[in-house]
Amino acid sequence: MSTMKFCRECNNILYPKEDKERKTLLYACRNCDHQEIAENNCVYRNEVHHSVAERTQVLNDVASDPTLPRTKAVRCAKCNHGEAVFFQATARGEEGMTLFFVCCAPNCNHRWRD
């Protein structure tokens, strides 16, 4: 069973990261420099796929999720609101991770990527 890990420095979520030089798995914070060696090299990967009709509800859930980090460093291009939730995910048809933002303004939930 996999559990989420949180940074001891800033309480942000720790993400798995490969240390290619030492050939080991780390958990690293994207908010500060904190890293720790994983207890084992297995990583749980949650792959949830949604149909187009479900995506509107997903965005509402993301914008109101208290566990996701928030930022006031970017403004929404649609409504100019100054707070957004951000998360990293794989963009459909692309390799690697992309940083996504969802506006936290009520009735907006505009999504954009960095």
Residues annotated within the binding site for Zn(2+) are 7, 10, 29, 32, 76, 79, 103, 108
**What is the rounded distance in angstroms from the CA atom of residue 5 to the CA atom of residue 15?**
8
Q: Which residues are annotated as a binding site?
A: 7, 10, 29, 32, 76, 79, 103, 108
Sheet (strand 70-71) strand order: 70-71, 84-90, 97-103, 111-113
Q: Tokens for 48?
A: 């949830």
- Largest pairwise CA distance in the chain: 47
